[in-house]
Structure 1
Amino acid sequence: MILVTGATGTIGGEVLRLLTQRGAKLRAMTRDPDRIAGFDAVQGDFDDSTSLRAAIAGVDSVFLLTAPGERVPGHDLAMIDAARTGGVRKVVKLSAVGGGIGLPSDWHAPGEQALASSGLAWTVLRASSFASNALRWATAIRAGAPVPNMTGTGAQGVVDPRDVAEVAVEALLGDGHDGVAYTLTGPGLISVPDQVEQLAELLGLPIRTVDVPLEAVREQTLAAGFDASVAEVAVRGAQLVRDGGNAVVTDDVRQVLGRPARSFRTWAQDHLDAFGG
């Protein structure tokens, strides 16, 4: 039995789909089980240890995905503790690329450290920026408005979420990835202007970008309903990318899957309908 947390999200949902194709016995954890049809879905809350113990009952492996924010360390530690005391054998944790004070990877560091000393089998997936983040631009593109650019010409190893999910599935189903932390990126570095240029070519539309000042990044993040800790990380992360601090590309996707990582262009081609294509 494999428990998938974050089961209604982009990565968690894809992990569920892929594991189903592989014939795995699954359980999905979510705050609202009614949102997941066709699966053994249980209500779980990282702040409720009783619900976590119920969710992991009879479970062999856990895919651990916690929502971004300052509660990530507490949520990770709560699930790891429940897994360790509840007879779980393996945890595969979705983490974040990079390092530095006040960045997303710092939220994940306590969980990574706890896994390493837990006695459990574990794999950590340090993912770069997701190609699917481009979906935030869909409304602007459909309206013929410029795409907001928070990171200037800073380039990143943007990764297709499908690749992250496929690596997670391999780690959950086999033992060859135990005790390994993978940094998952796309095949090359790409900036927001580069991404927009590729979308424009594929859609056959003129699309431009408009730079967003860092203070506006904070304000927009807060306006979107995120708390102050997420807004601060958004600002620091944008600055890091602008300064070239996330210009990281690895071959870890190929190492695990035996094929090259998907490019942003491939992701965009497969999701053109979201942009009106």
Structure 2
Amino acid sequence: MSDVHVLVTGATGTVGSAILAVMTSRGVPVRALARNPGMLPENPLVDVVKGDYDDQRSLDAATAGVEVVFLLTTPESPVPRHDRAILRAARSAGVSRIVKLSATSAGARGPNNRIVGTWHRAAEDAVTASGLSWTILRPSSFASNFLRWADAINQGHPIPNMTGSGLQGVIDPRDVAAVSAECLLSGVGAGQTITLTGPELLSVPDQVARLARVLGRQITTVDVPPDQARERMRSSGMAGPAIETVVAGATWAREGGNARITEEVRRILGRPPGTFESWALDHRAAFDTPPASPPSR
């Protein structure tokens, strides 16, 4: 597929797969980098290549011949090593632009003046120092984060809440993908760091109330303080640095650090961002299996 000019990394993830959908709906050929190519459906417009951020040769092959790279990294350890690896490949391949997906927490100041999102900020710094044209996108909390609790909701268990009553500009990841595609194709936002949010500030209990209204049944939450969250993540096998990154970000949001709304989605797409409730309506099937009734005695 010689006319491919855009490489999408993280292609099997929430945002990456949605970018592929946007691109192909426009008839734009695209290359998709995936560790497990079989996870992507076949599409004549998508050139799927196998690659790994720890395999420099695979990155060199993936970037060959492309002009723009969508850069999304989610390493197990919160370090920018993977970002630097793909940037090396991009420079060698003559890539001209990078659209980097970061987060609103990048470099923010949290409790006790501690810097939150150090990994995201270090990755951003690597991009801006790369010598390539760049756009950095900082989305707020994803509406789709609720999908991780679908089983708990369907079984009638409470949703664990690490951010308390902290408000966030929750965003539909499909809007993040749409903005990303626009930046990749048109070059909008070059040299800019753009914060993307949904249309309203919501806490986890606010989101639960809206999801409960969509589903027509009760959903509850349970507060999870930082120490308890650390223990849960440690018992699940998460590495210590990653745990501290998650806890710092949750504490920052709990204390109001992410209570911000922007108009960037409307500016770039010419329409308002989707609401959490509209996202819930479109994904209600994931939550639409109510818990089984206990056997009668």
For normalisation by structure 2, the TM-score amounts to 0.88
CA deviations on 1:245-265 (whole Å, 9 max, x unpaired) are 111111111111111111111
**Divergent runs of 4+, >4 A:** none
Give the share of equivalent positions with the same residue, in percent: 52
Q: Distance in 1 between matches of 2:31 and 2:92?
A: 19
Report how far residue 194 of structure 1 moved: 0.5
Assess if the C-alpha contact under 8 Å between 1:184 and 1:253 holds in 2.
yes
> Aligned to 2:69, what secondary structure does the other structure show?
strand
What is aligned with 1:81? 88
CA deviations on 1:142-183 (whole Å, 9 max, x unpaired) are 112222111111111111100000000000000232111110
Assess if the C-alpha contact under 8 Å between 1:69 and 1:107 holds in 2.
no
Report how far residue 71 of structure 1 moved: 4.7
Choose which of 212, 219, 222 in structure 2 pairs with 1:200: 212
Report the AA paired with residue 170 of structure 2: V
Report the AA paired with residue 83 of structure 1: A
Assess if the C-alpha contact under 8 Å between 1:128 and 1:184 holds in 2.
yes
> Aligned to 2:102, what secondary structure does the other structure show?
strand
Q: 1:64 and 2:71 equivalent?
A: yes
Report how far residue 215 of structure 1 moved: 1.3
Q: 1:213 and 2:225 equivalent?
A: yes
Choose which of 45, 48, 66 in structure 1 pairs with 2:55: 48
Deviates more, 1:243-252 or 1:215-224: 215-224
Q: Distance in 1 between matches of 2:211 and 2:37?
A: 36
Gaps of 5+ in 1: none
Assess if the C-alpha contact under 8 Å between 1:61 and 1:91 holds in 2.
yes
Q: Distance in 2 between matches of 1:72 and 1:20?
A: 32
CA deviations on 1:55-111 (whole Å, 9 max, x unpaired) are 1111111110101543541111111121112111111110010323453x3212233
CA RMSD across the alignment: 1.6
Q: Distance in 1 between matches of 2:40 and 2:146?
A: 25
Q: Work out the number of aligned pairs and report it.
A: 276
What is aligned with 2:270? 258
What is aligned with 2:119? 107
Assess if the C-alpha contact under 8 Å between 1:62 and 1:90 holds in 2.
yes
Assess if the C-alpha contact under 8 Å between 1:217 and 1:234 holds in 2.
no
Q: Distance in 2 between matches of 1:52 and 1:160?
A: 29
Gaps of 5+ in 2: 290-297
Any residues of structure 2 matched to 1:238-277 within 5 Å, and which?
238-276=250-288
Choose which of 8, 12, 34 in structure 2 pairs with 1:8: 12
What is aligned with 1:156? 168
Report how far residue 271 of structure 1 moved: 0.8
> Aligned to 2:80, what secondary structure does the other structure show?
helix
> Aligned to 1:96, what secondary structure does the other structure show?
coil
Higher Cα radius of gyration: 2
Any residues of structure 2 matched to 1:170-209 within 5 Å, and which?
170-209=182-221
Q: Distance in 1 between matches of 2:138 and 2:242?
A: 18
Q: Distance in 2 between matches of 1:175 and 1:33?
A: 28
CA deviations on 1:206-230 (whole Å, 9 max, x unpaired) are 2221111211211222334432112
Q: Distance in 1 between matches of 2:201 and 2:126?
A: 31
> Aligned to 1:190, what secondary structure does the other structure show?
coil
Deviates more, 1:228-237 or 1:159-168: 228-237
Q: 1:97 and 2:87 equivalent?
A: no
What is aligned with 1:131? 143
Q: 1:33 and 2:37 equivalent?
A: yes
Report how far residue 187 of structure 1 moved: 0.8
Assess if the C-alpha contact under 8 Å between 2:195 and 2:262 holds in 1.
yes
For normalisation by structure 1, the TM-score amounts to 0.94
